[in-house]
Structures are given as C-alpha cells and as structure tokens.
Structure 1
Amino acid sequence: MQANNVALVTYRGHCVENVHRAHVAVVDEAGRLLYSFGDPQRMTLARSAAKPAQALAVIETGALERFGFDEADLALMCASHSSEPRHIERAWAMLRKVGADESDLRCGGHPAVSDAVNRAWIKRDFIPTACCSNCSGKHAGMLAAALALGESFSGYNESVHPLQAHVRRVMADVCELPVDAVEWAVDGCNLPTPAFALDKLGLIYARLAQSADAAHKGEPLSARGQALARIYRAMTTYPEMVAGEGRYCTDLMRAFEGNVVGKTGADACYGLGVRASAQTRRLGASGAVGLSVKVEDGNTQMLYRLVCEILERLAIGTAQQRQLLDKYHRPLMLNTVGQETGSARFMFDLHRH
C-alpha cells in the first residue's frame, strides 16, 4: 500500500488547489490481484456500482420470467439513470408489468442527474416523483422480486424483509465472502447498500465479463453464469438506459462496443469489467479482468479522469476508442468566460503483483 495514495493533483495556475487520494484494484476472473494502487482491500461502500449484483439477486428469484421483463428493463435495474423521458416511461412500464403503482416505490424524487432534464423540468414547474428517481429501475425490480419470493411489497426496502436477506446472501456469494463479512448501510435511494473490500467489487465485474465471454463462445454456464452474462448483455446493449446522454457510463460502453461494462457509484466509486483479449492476457489474466476504483473525497469528475487514465495505462481497447472519452479524461478547466485556469496531474503508479 502506498503511504499517501495521492492519485491526482489539480492546479489553478501554478498553485496546488486540490489533492485527490484514491485506491485501485485490478483483478482477474478468479479474484487474483494483478495491479493496484493505494489499498486494494479498502472497505468500500459500492453504492450504485453494486447494482448489477443486486440485479443478479432479482434474476435469481425468477422475477424476470414471471413478469416478462426484457433486457432494456434489466438495464434499467442496473441504472443510475438521467430521468430522461425514456427512463421514466420504462420505470412506469415495469411497474405495470408487476401490477404495482408508483406509490409502492420506496425511493423519492430528486433533481435529475442531467442538467438538460433539470432545465426542462424547471420550465414546466415539474416536481419529480418516485419514478423519476435515478434508481427507479432497481426499485421496480425489487418489487417484482419480492412478489416472486411470495412476499408482499410492504417494507421491501427494509433490511428485515426476506427479499433483502436474499440480496445479502447473493451479494456475499458473488463476492466470495461470508454473509457477515459484507457490511450494509442505507443508500440515497432508501435501499440497503453493501460495503466490502474494493478488490471484491472488481471481482464482480470480472465475472460479469467472463460470463459474457463464455456465453458468446457457447460454453456451458451455470444458472448464475447465465444470469451474469444476461446482465452484461443488457447493460452493453442498452447503455443509454444505464445512464443517459452525455453520461460517462453510457459513453464508456458505447466507445468500447460491448467489450467493456462499467457502472458508477455515488461518492466516486467505479466498477468495470473487460472481456478477455490479447490485452487482458498481457496483463496476466487468463480470461476477463475487473477494475474497481474509489476516490476518497467523493469527486466524481476526478473519478472519471482516473478511470480513463487507468484504461490508457493498461492499453484497454484501441487508442481511437479511448479518445472518445477525452472529454472525461482531460477536460479543460475553464472559467465563466472560457479562459483556461488550471490543470490536473496524475500522480499515481500502478503496482504489478
């Protein structure tokens, strides 16, 4: 572990303005640590980066088949969406499939992640409701899962509900941890959110990508492997449902054309899976690779800079694909009249294990 774990420093002119500390873990599909920076075992709240694993728990109740959810619905279950009309409409459609109403959702409305959506809402004097929550897809999926388990909607978001006990078991199992080794808190959307070692988040994403590879090759997969491949396919086929226009996750998955899956979590946490290739083999993996990142001060803009820089240093994808993310990697730091006022410098080195 590097003592100061400073990953980025921002400057205004020649003066240091901010110092951003971070932790990075790069693992293979078996969970073996390939590269790291800072503390790869840092206990980390995954926040919305855990949504694919929560969606796995939903799938394993049989809810998708019972209620006729398609892959775009599944992508929305994994989303921190921008509350664009297509997101809200799909959340409503999912509720109708379940026979639920917006009042059954235990998430609240909030300003949209998208500035464009917020401006449109202000012009209409629109007050966002629960279906407008960036987590409404996850909540709709949880309602369906509760019914599939033979339980009621009531209290589905509470840790004592049988649904959440099921989610805890699946989350621990996919992380290869005892159930009591995963800690839980309450997320911004009012559902439980897990905390575990950072490299375990990378493992989740490595296994998403590994399962996608196996499915593509027609290799035999367990029921869980099939579910993980289904989640990967949903997210990369419908990246616009996972985030939205002008959002990092959507642009990342579009840029890498199905070979990378990624999901942000609030307060600057990120999980990313890379399908097997000559590039992942060069990193020391026999198959897929998972990457997890946490920026300690919660700065999401710095998180995206850092993820882009790691992808470049690991030579993931082509230079042309990585250049499509330049606005996140090296955005100009401008004032209100367009004058460049500062810069950012990467200070970290990845340690190879």
Structure 2
Amino acid sequence: MAKQTFEPAVTVYRGGIVETTHAAHIAVVDADGRLLYAWGDPHRLTLVRSAAKPAQALAVIETGALDRFGFDDADLALMCGSNSSEDRHVARTRQMLAKIAAQESDMRCGGHPPISDAVYRDWIKRDFTPGPACSNCSGKHVGMLAAARAMAVPIDDYHLPEHPLQIRVRHTVAQACGLPDEGVQWAIDGCNLPTPAFELDRLARLYASLADAADLTGAQGSGAVPARTAALARIYRAMTSHPEMVAGEGRFCTTLMEAFGGALVGKVGADGSYAVGVRASAQTARHTGEAGQRALGFAVKMEDGNQAALHAVVVEVLAQLGIGTPAQFEALARFHAPRISNTKGIETGGVSAKVKLAAQE
C-alpha cells in the first residue's frame, strides 16, 4: 500500500534554507458538525489524548460528583487541564483530594518531570521527587476518583477500562462526539487512564458543542436548556474563566484563552493534537451562512507531533477564519511565527505556517 503524502503545513527555516517540514490535518465544523473547511485529512483517525478531557469531565459532572463534593469552576478547569505542576496546581489537587476524603496514594497516575521549565529547575534545586499530585493530569484523576465515589463503586481500580466508571466515560465521550460507542477506539494514555481515538472532525464537533452550549446557556439561562447542554456550558465557563488551571504560566492554552477573554476555548492533546471551540459572533457568521451566527469548532493533528508547528497552525487557522483582533494576534505572535535563536541569542531561523483552508461542499 502506498504511503500517503501531504503538502507541508509548516516549514522551519534556518538561514533562509528549509530545514524541516511538518504535515498537518485540519477540520473546521459548525455547531451541527457540518464540515466547513479542511486541510490534509479531516477524517484522520486520531488519538486525541488530553484534548478529550472536557468530554471525560462531562461524564464526571453527570455523576453528580461536582455538586456533591463542592467542586468549583477552578477545580473543574483543573480536571479539564494538562497543568504545569506549578504550586497552585499541586495545592489545588490536594485540596480536591481532601474534599472527597481520598489520599494521593489513591491516584493511579505517576509523577513525572513537569511541563514547566521553571518548575523543573526548582524541583532539581530541591531534589524533589514528584508524586501523583504533581502529574499534569492530576485534576482528571481526582475528578475520576470523585465520580467513582458518587457512583458508590470501588475507587481502587477506577482507571481500568472494565471499571463501571470507565464504561460510563466511554459512553459519554462517544455521545459527546455524536458517535455510537463502537465508533470510538480506546488505548491507554501516559497518565494510565483510557484515551479515545476517533475521526478528527469529531473532535472539532466536540469543541463546537462546548461553545454552542455556552451560547445557548448564556441566552436562555441554565434552567432553560437540557442538562447536558448546561453541563457543557459549565465546562466551557470553567476553562475560559480559569485558563491558568488548564495549562500554566506562558503556556499556549492559557495564553490563547486569556487573549480571547471567553470568546473561545482551546485545549492541547499530547503528540500534536489541538481543538478550539469559538462562540458565535459576527466573525463566525461569515462561515455559518444561512444558519446565522453559530459557534464553530476546529481540530488540528500534526502528523509528527511537533508542538511548535502545532501552535503555529492553530493561530494560522484563526487568522484565516478571521477570528480575532490585531491585539489578540499580537498576544499570540510568539506562537504564530516563532523565531529560532542559537545559544548566543542570535536569530538563526523561524517557523512559518503554510496551510490554506479549503472550503468543503
């Protein structure tokens, strides 16, 4: 079988010479999941990794765990995040454990080097050995523990695919993406929990649903919409109100959501996946046509998992869709077209996104 080839989405230059190129797949959909624009293969089967966390958090909310244990929006944002293991992230994880009368030893994730270089330097200086509460997925794991408690099922093996909680999570994730249960494949993530795989446009649809729920709830109030819509809007509000809990200082997810001030939600997944949900506006209406002002969602997968290239593509998609102001793009400039410098601080090259979204019939 011939290997598929794709036009490079990102080019990295050094001294004006092409050093590396990076292929990407992009799907842009409306709030109904209709494919509007694409690049590469918008239906690529994709392990979305941590970009699935909002859908997994939806399952936690629907057990009643958040209300039962008094979790607030910052707690929910941490459940949806891939945090930098900053002191505020670790402290909140431990506070959440206390709310459910659980211990760090009950968490089935492991410690690892932090995403943040500043945190890593601090840990090295202190000869600190991270535990489960220091995981970038700590919030998701505490959320799963809380959900197991709310379901009155054992917490010892909450992470296993056959556990009643994970069976419920699988069903919820599939529904949130508009798929039957068998339409989602599953593997084991780096944090030891199941992680889903489905077509890329379904990830875009999930995030469009988050933004659409925020629009519907904002217009009608949470009491006037279905419970699931209210739960999706709650996730959107938590992530956009507390972007520092979704990632951390200087990270792309945090910077993106801070720049847009609640107009969009964004979340990374390991190895080059990303998804964005954009609330309805005059800017989205240019693409949703007769449907009027509706939310949009888009998802990106870098074929080689390169993160710098991923960030450049995400910002380029926003630019091509006309979503954002000059000030917002200025806040994202270091991600859109980062310059490459050597160890003496001399600029030696740069990164350039080359995607051109193609309208779909």
Same fold (TM over 0.5): yes
Q: Deviations over 1:272-327 (max 9, x none)?
A: 00000011110126310001000010111110011011111111021111111111
Given that residues 36 and 359 in structure 2 are in contact (C-alpha distance below 8 angstroms), is that contact kept between their aligned partners in structure 1?
yes
Q: Deviations over 1:6-38 (max 9, x none)?
A: 201112223321110000000011000011100
**Counterpart of 2:196?**
194
Match of 1:133 among 112, 132, 135: 135
Match of 1:329 among 333, 336, 341: 336
Match of 1:232 among 208, 233, 236: 236
Q: Helix, strand or coil for the counterpart of 1:193?
A: strand
**Counterpart of 1:289?**
296
Letter of the 2:147 partner, please give it. Answer: A
Q: Helix, strand or coil for the counterpart of 1:6?
A: coil
Match of 1:84 among 83, 86, 89: 86
**Counterpart of 2:252?**
248
Unaligned 5+ segments in structure 1 are none
Given that residues 337 and 352 in structure 2 are in contact (C-alpha distance below 8 angstroms), is that contact kept between their aligned partners in structure 1?
no
Given that residues 5 and 23 in structure 1 are in contact (C-alpha distance below 8 angstroms), is that contact kept between their aligned partners in structure 2?
no
* C-alpha separation in 2, matches of 1:77 and 1:247: 17
Task: List structure 1 segments (4+ residues) > 3 angstroms apart after TM superposition.
Answer: none
Map 1:101-116 to 2 at 5 A: 101-116=103-118
Give the structure-1-normalised TM-score. 0.98
Give the structure-2-normalised TM-score. 0.96
**Counterpart of 2:66?**
64
Q: Deviations over 1:127-169 (max 9, x none)?
A: 1110000000000000010111110111100001010000000
Match of 1:280 among 280, 284, 289: 284
**Counterpart of 2:154?**
152
**Counterpart of 1:210?**
212
> How many percent identity over aligned positions?
59
Q: Helix, strand or coil for the counterpart of 1:160?
A: coil
Letter of the 2:237 partner, please give it. Answer: R
Q: Deviations over 1:203-248 (max 9, x none)?
A: 0100100010111112531000000000000000100010011000
**Counterpart of 1:142?**
144
Unaligned 5+ segments in structure 2 are none
Q: Helix, strand or coil for the counterpart of 1:317?
A: coil
Q: Helix, strand or coil for the counterpart of 1:283?
A: helix
- Comparing 192-201 and 342-351, the one that deviates more: 342-351
Q: Helix, strand or coil for the counterpart of 1:284?
A: helix
Letter of the 2:13 partner, please give it. Answer: Y
Given that residues 24 and 40 in structure 2 are in contact (C-alpha distance below 8 angstroms), is that contact kept between their aligned partners in structure 1?
yes
Q: Helix, strand or coil for the counterpart of 1:41?
A: coil
Aligned residue-pair number: 352
The offset of 1:3, in angstroms, is 5.3
